[in-house]
Amino acid sequence: MKQSLSLRMSQHLALTPQLQQSIRLLQLSTLELSAEVEQMLDENPFLERNTEEASAEEFGLPEADTRVSLGDRVTEAATDAREHSLDTSSEANATVNTDEAVQDVAESWDGDGSVDMTPDDSEWGNDAGSRKTASNDSDAPDAVELATGLGSFTDFLHRQALSLRLSDVDRAALRFLIESLNDDGYLEDSLQALAEGLAGTDDLEQLEELVHRFTMALSLLQSLEPVGVGARNLAECLSLQLKAQLRDAPEDTVLQAALAICAQPLELLAKRDVKRLVVLCAQDDQTIKLAIAHIARLEPKPARPFANAEQHVIIPDVLVINTRPSGEPRFKVQLNPDVMPRLRVHDIYANALRGGKSEAHQGLQQRLQEARWFIKNIQQRFDTILRVSTAIVERQKNFFIHGELAMRPLVLREIADELGLHESTISRVTTAKYMTTPMGTFELKYFFGSGLGTDSGSAASSTAVRALIRQLVAAENSAKPLSDNQLSEMLKEQGIDCARRTVAKYREALKIAPANLRKTL
């Protein structure tokens, strides 16, 4: 076979570094973008903050509403590294080992110890995780400061431990157990395992001494506030809270029955098997029902009020404002000026490079080009978010007026065709991006949903169907709750073709218990 050379022309797609950076910035959340901006400012000498105030027209705001960018305000979450020793702290990341039924109880619990993280309507458009700026009231604490006012969970326990008169060894053992708690306030590892982690398995005498010290320290730990801390499982956590209540009311039969229920397998409590609990606890039917209702009001996660609020901060990227409160509503879509980093190329450094042709100058020219690309890609990111958000608001206008029941079916392809973008681009834009509206703050993906057929030939949004299911369950007779099949029939009466399996899927997504668990005791 004879060898020869030939030329062939072809076309193919290539992702340039600039395009790759544009795609990566587009899928970042607001907090991730802020971290990316900080890193670029540290690495690239040609990039600097634009300290000049942005014009109001740039964000579509009135002159009096000019704000400072998020890049100057977002706080960085601090992480503590803890070591496993008596003099230092240990990091506990595992969750409580419970069986499937116990997990169902804990996840669906409606305890009194929950913290309301819902933002106030008067704070729309404000950055809950940002530092105070000169334009804001310096005396008004932000959301993170309010939520973290109690301090960390371990610090709260350490402060209580200081009030106990203990020897140095016992104090060190108590400190070690406090640092071994997980995020929910449970002691996941057994005392034997903790002792073996310190002393090993060779020195049995020292191992027994450590187990004894830990046993004493555990009883002290479980006497601290909040009640239930240091429990090894959910049943022990509930029992500790009930025992604390029994000390104030030792003759209360409901509390005694509740304590007896916690001593039984928690599957019976999860299933609300009143008949078996009556036999096992030797109590009458009414007392068992009251005890189960009382247990439902306990706190299954003692450390919940001390949860890291910064992990739950949601910063809206887009603001939807009703500019016509009276009469027919008219909605205006604008970017949140607090989340837009204001950057520019350093003029002095850029001018110093003009005319240089050495290898060093070429490397600096590349860094200068990277800075320009970065600024352009950030501007393109926010422009794409605004275009997509505007298209969503136009298509879901009825939602902003009437609520979830008025949500219409919407898929990514519709927005992509309208804006001339790819579906993957719309998916990146709507992930981890949030919109603050008169109805609340929602992720952009929330406004997309499939449709179910109706008798009229149109389609009903799955979001609207879920809202209708929630409404039907809220209005049901608690003594005779509606089954999935009954809910399906009621939806069909309203012209929505929804199978029983679909109703069950939507009900589980709404975290609504089955009919047998919703029945009033």
User: What gap in Å lies between CA 384 and CA 380, rounded to an integer?
Assistant: 6
How much helix, strand and coil, in percent to the nearest 5, is found in the chain?
50, 5, 40
User: What gap in Å lies between CA 424 and CA 194, rounded to an integer?
Assistant: 48
Residue 38: pLDDT above 80?
yes
Find the range with the poorest average confidence among 7-11, 211-215, 435-439, 488-492: 7-11
- Residue 451: its H or E element: strand 451-453
H/E/C letters for each residue in 59-102?
HCCCHHHCCCCHHHCECCCCCCCCCCCCCCCCCCCCCCCCCHHH
pTM as predicted: 0.61
- Whether 179 and 154 have beta carbons less than 8 Å apart is answered as yes
Residue 305: pLDDT above 90?
no
Residue 435: pLDDT above 80?
yes
Q: Based on the number of CB atoms within 10 Å of its own CB, is 359 exposed (0-12), middle (13-18) or buried (19 or more)?
A: exposed
Listed in sequence order, the residues at least 6 apart from 66 whose beta carbon sits closer than 8 Å to its beta carbon are: 53, 54, 55, 56, 135, 337
Where is pLDDT greater, at 93 or 195?
A: 195
Where is pLDDT greater, at 112 or 369?
A: 369
| Dihedral-angle region of residue 272 (phi above 0 means left; psi in -120 to 50 means alpha; beta otherwise) | left
User: What gap in Å lies between CA 356 and CA 365, rounded to an integer?
Assistant: 9
Residue 10: pLDDT above 90?
no
Find the range with the poorest average confidence among 359-363, 380-384, 422-426, 445-449: 359-363
State the chain's mean pLDDT as an integer: 78
Per domain, the residue ranges of the chain are: 15-74+315-449, 81-313, 451-518
Asked if residue 226 has a cis previous peptide bond (ω within 30° of 0), the answer is yes
Residue 438: pLDDT above 70?
yes
CATH number of 451-518: 3.30.460.10, 2.40.30.30, 1.10.10.60, 3.90.1200.10?
1.10.10.60
Q: Which pLDDT score, from 0 to 100, does residue 73 have? A: 30
Count of beta carbons in the 10 Å neighbourhood of residue 285? 12
User: What gap in Å lies between CA 213 and CA 173, rounded to an integer?
Assistant: 7
Q: Which pLDDT score, from 0 to 100, does residue 312 have? A: 60
Q: Which pLDDT score, from 0 to 100, does residue 101 have? A: 38
What is the sign of the dihedral through the CA atoms of 45, 49, 51 and 55? positive
Residue 455: pLDDT above 90?
no
Q: Match 């409606």 to its residue by tokens.
A: 110
Q: Which pLDDT score, from 0 to 100, does residue 192 have? A: 87
Where is pLDDT greater, at 114 or 305?
A: 305
Count of beta carbons in the 10 Å neighbourhood of residue 269? 23
Token output for 69: 């960018």
Q: Which pLDDT score, from 0 to 100, does residue 520 have? A: 62
Residue 428: pLDDT above 80?
yes
Q: Which pLDDT score, from 0 to 100, does residue 430 have? A: 93
Binning pLDDT at 50, 70 and 90, where does residue 110 land? Answer: very low
Residue 333: pLDDT above 90?
yes
Residue 111: pLDDT above 60?
no
User: What gap in Å lies between CA 513 and CA 107, rounded to an integer?
Assistant: 12
Where is pLDDT greater, at 122 or 178?
A: 178
pLDDT tens track for 129-171:
333 333 344 444 454 454 445 568 888 898 998 888 888 888 8
Exposed e or buried b for every residue in 365-403, given b needs 16+ CB within 10 A? beebebbebbbebbeebbebbbbbbbbbbebbeebbeee
Q: Which pLDDT score, from 0 to 100, does residue 1 have? A: 67
Residue 40: pLDDT above 70?
yes
Residue 307: pLDDT above 80?
no
- Between the CA of residue 409 and those of 150, 332, 359, 517, what are the distances in Å? 44, 22, 57, 32
Q: Based on the number of CB atoms within 10 Å of its own CB, is 181 exposed (0-12), middle (13-18) or buried (19 or more)?
A: buried
